[in-house]
Structures are given as structure tokens and as C-alpha cells.
Amino acid sequence: MSSIQNSLLVNFSEMSEKDIVDVLAIEQESYGYPWSEKIFYDCINNNYLCRVLTLDDNLIGYLISSLVQDECHIMNLCVKKEYRNFGYGKLILNELHKELFELKCKIIFLECRPSNNSALKLYQSLGYNEIGKRRNYYPAPNGYEDAIILAKDIKK
């Protein structure tokens, strides 16, 4: 995908190893428990669906997911702090949904912290529904936090 929005060139494309420096900087400013550099290398080299969103060649967001048969699992979605609330998270997910539809994927799963209101609102606005919980899934300052499991039927 490539389009001009407000005279910025917006591009959604495959993540490559050369993107990892920028991805890691966003990851580290965004999460209390960020993924390591090695995890991103492993995802790229093990055929996960790894995508980046750039504005005028400036990397401002990314998504990591895996597709096994007709099920997708989103493992990481992140937008650079100063670019949040401009619709880029939604754009990344909508681009993924289009790709998955072409790939005959039927359902998408993801986990989210119950405390992550902005992410939950985003997912719910795009048709993801809560289907369960995973107890003590995420590390947290006082131990562990549960995860909400969300799912979206890709055919709709």
C-alpha cells in the first residue's frame, strides 16, 4: 500500500532487518517490558507477518503477527508516541485485514492488557470481541496482569 495523505507519502510494507533499529527505539519508548532485538530478528527470519508503516520514509509504526493455516495471531502493534491518535494504528490494522482476507485467513486473535484502554478501544472499534482471559499472562510491577483475549472474524 502506498498513498499520499496530506502530502505525506504513507507506505505499509514488509519489515526488514534494516528496520530493526527504528522499531526497537519505538518498542523501548512504548512498553514497560519491551521485546529484545533478537525477538524481532527471529520474527523476520521465521516468516512471521512483520510490517512497518512509514511516512515519507520515516518509520512510525509496526505490526508483528503469525499466520498458521487460516488463523492469525497479532503479537505486537505499536505506533510511535508523537504519531498516536491520528488514525495510524487503525490504518495498520485495516491494511493487515486486507492482506489476511486475500490469504483466506478466517479469524484473528490477540491479547491485550485490561489496563490498555487506547488499544482496547481501537480493537473494539474494528470489530474485535472479547472471547476470554488468560490469567497472569503479562509481567507487571506487582507481579503479573491478566490478558484479555480478543478475536475478529475476518470474513465480516
Ligand X SMILES: CC(C)(COP(=O)(O)OP(=O)(O)OC[C@H]1O[C@@H](n2cnc3c(N)ncnc32)[C@H](O)[C@@H]1OP(=O)(O)O)[C@@H](O)C(=O)NCCC(=O)NCCS
27 binds ligand X (CB under 6 A): no
Nearest CA to 78 out of 117, 24, 148, 127 is that of 24
Binding residue (CB under 6 A) for ligand X from 11, 22, 24, 30: 30
Q: Of the two residues 104 and 124, which places its CB atom closer to ligand X in the complex?
A: 124
Closest CB to ligand X among residues 48, 89? 89
Instruction: Indicate whether 53 belongs to the interface with ligand X (CB under 6 A).
Output: no
- Binding positions for ligand X, 106-145, rule CB under 6 A: 112, 116-119, 121-122, 125
Site string for ligand X, 58-87 (x = CB under 6 A): -------------------xxx----xxxx
Residue carrying C-alpha cell 507519502: 9
How many CA atoms within 13 Å lie on the side-chain side of 114?
A: 12
DSSP symbol at 128: -
Q: Are 103 and 122 in contact (CB under 8 A)?
A: no
Q: Considering CB under 6 A, how many residues would be counted as binding ligand X?
A: 19
With the C-alpha atoms ordered 84, 119, 14, 80, is the resulting torsion angle positive or negative? positive
Give residue 55's region: left, alpha or beta (phi > 0; psi -120 to 50): beta
**Residue in 111, 130, 137, 145 annotated catalytic:** 111
Return the number of the residue (11 or 30) whose C-beta is nearest ligand X. Answer: 30
Q: Smaller CB distance to ligand X: residue 35 or 44? A: 35
95 near ligand X, judged by CB under 6 A: no
> Parallel, antiparallel, or unpaired: how do β-strands 71-79 and 107-112 relate?
parallel
Residue 94, phi then psi, degrees to nearest 5: -65, -40
Residues known to be catalytic: 111, 123
Binding site for ligand X (CB under 6 A): 30, 77-79, 84-90, 112, 116-119, 121-122, 125
